[in-house]
Amino acid sequence: MSFSDYRTALVTGASAGMGTALVERLCAEGLTVHALARRADRLDELAARTGCIPHAVDITDTEALKAAVEGLEIDVLINNAGVGRAGNITTMDEFGVDELIDLNLRAVLHITRLLLPGMLERDRGHIVNIGSMAGQYNFGGNTVYHATKAAIRMLSQQLRIDVNGKRVRITEFSPGRVETEIFDRNHGMSKDEARQHWYEGYEIPGPADVADAIAYVINLPSHITIGHMEMMSTFQAPGGLSIVKTAK
Ligand SMILES: NC(=O)c1ccc[n+]([C@@H]2O[C@H](COP(=O)([O-])OP(=O)(O)OC[C@H]3O[C@@H](n4cnc5c(N)ncnc54)[C@H](OP(=O)(O)O)[C@@H]3O)[C@@H](O)[C@H]2O)c1
């Protein structure tokens, strides 16, 4: 199976960052790409540029999501839409908990539930779940985000059991820091502030690097699955030891 065997794709979170780059790449490979996000103006601009099919939808609204994907035969599903929030569980408000669970996990489960049966029936498909290094490692802050991304990790592994015996592949893609819009949103910063704080002076991957890596994974022969791929700046390393000294 390679791009030439797939005809259709669906990318969530297509109006920014990695999602936009993935739509651009999949369209360039000749697939009919359905692009989902809330901001219609951005999707329209993307559609004009790439030929993708825009769907302005809040994917946490399950009825709206169902209506958007109803009847679609999707070969490549990229569960990309996600949000983060600064702070740990002691500082997170009710909205923050619900938003992260609803988008990063609940919407992924629903869209997978809706589209995977068709892939199994057609014996053709690939689901790429965008996780995070936060789903693999613990580090300071963002407790709820870590929890949702750890769920994506186990979901991706479990899906491989669910589809075993069919020509349907499951990949979890776990990025470290990538230059997108996520940090502006997480920290309520302007684009400029976020760039200065999170990106300037760092050699980190961009959305096109992510799209290249995912394109490689999709383009492998159908008897090969890359189950998990982690992408990070060479200058970013997870791990470390946290210990607090309590006596002088
Ligand atoms: N950037 C990083 O450093 C990094 C690192 C690790 C993992 N990730 C993960 O990578 C994925 C992509 O993130 P990104 O960095 O590209 O983020 P981004 O630039 O902030 O883009 C997020 C996308 O999600 C969409 N979205 C948000 N809420 C939505 C909703 N309710 N319904 C539909 N779409 C919604 C946004 O579009 P609208 O606002 O128009 O709806 C936007 O297109 C996420 O799952 C994120 O957790 C990112």
Taking the chain (248 residues) in runs of 10, the rounded mean pLDDT of each run is 83 98 98 98 98 98 98 98 94 95 98 98 98 94 95 98 98 97 85 90 97 97 96 93 89
The pLDDT, as a whole number, for residue 191 is: 87
For the beta sheet containing 125-130, the strands, ordered from the edge strand earlier in sequence to the opposite edge, are: 53-56, 32-37, 8-12, 76-79, 125-130, 168-175, 228-231
The closest alpha carbon to 217, from 226, 209, 205, belongs to 226
What backbone phi and psi angles, to 5 degrees, belong to 37?
-175, 175
In a domain, 153, yes or no: yes
In a domain, 77, yes or no: yes
Does the Cβ of 13 fall within 6 Å of ligand 1? yes
In a domain, 2, yes or no: no
In a domain, 221, yes or no: yes
In a domain, 241, yes or no: no
Range of the domain at 161: 58-231
In a domain, 98, yes or no: yes
In a domain, 239, yes or no: no
What backbone phi and psi angles, to 5 degrees, belong to 188?
60, 35
Residue 125 is part of a domain; what is its CATH number? 3.40.50.720
Output the CA–CA distances (angstroms, integers) from residue 200 to 13, 167, 175, 192, 203, in the order listed: 24, 43, 18, 10, 8
In a domain, 47, yes or no: no
Does the Cβ of 106 fall within 6 Å of ligand 1? no
Does the Cβ of 180 fall within 6 Å of ligand 1? yes
Tokens standing for residue 142: 């963002």
Tokens standing for residue 6: 């797939």
Ligand 1 mean position, distance from CA 15 (Å): 9
For residue 84, the ligand 1 atom closest to its alpha carbon is 47
Q: Which residues are catalytic?
A: 145
Determine the Cα–Cα distance for residues 216 and 226; give it in Å rounded to an integer.
10
What backbone phi and psi angles, to 5 degrees, belong to 196?
-65, -40
Q: How many domains does the chain have?
A: 1
What residue owns the CA closest to ligand 1's atom 21? 16
Q: Long-range contacts of range 97-106, CB-CB < 8 Å, 24 or more positions apart? A: 97/144, 99/60, 100/144, 100/145, 100/148, 101/144, 101/148, 102/60, 103/59, 103/60, 104/145, 104/148, 104/149, 104/151, 104/152, 105/148, 105/151, 105/152, 105/155, 106/60, 106/62
The pLDDT, as a whole number, for residue 2 is: 62
Q: Mapped to the 3 state alphabet, what secondary structure does 172-230 carry?
A: EEEECCCCCCHHHHHHCCCHHHHHHHHHCCCCCCCHHHHHHHHHHHHCCCCCCCCCEEE
Ligand 1 mean position, distance from CA 175 (Å): 12
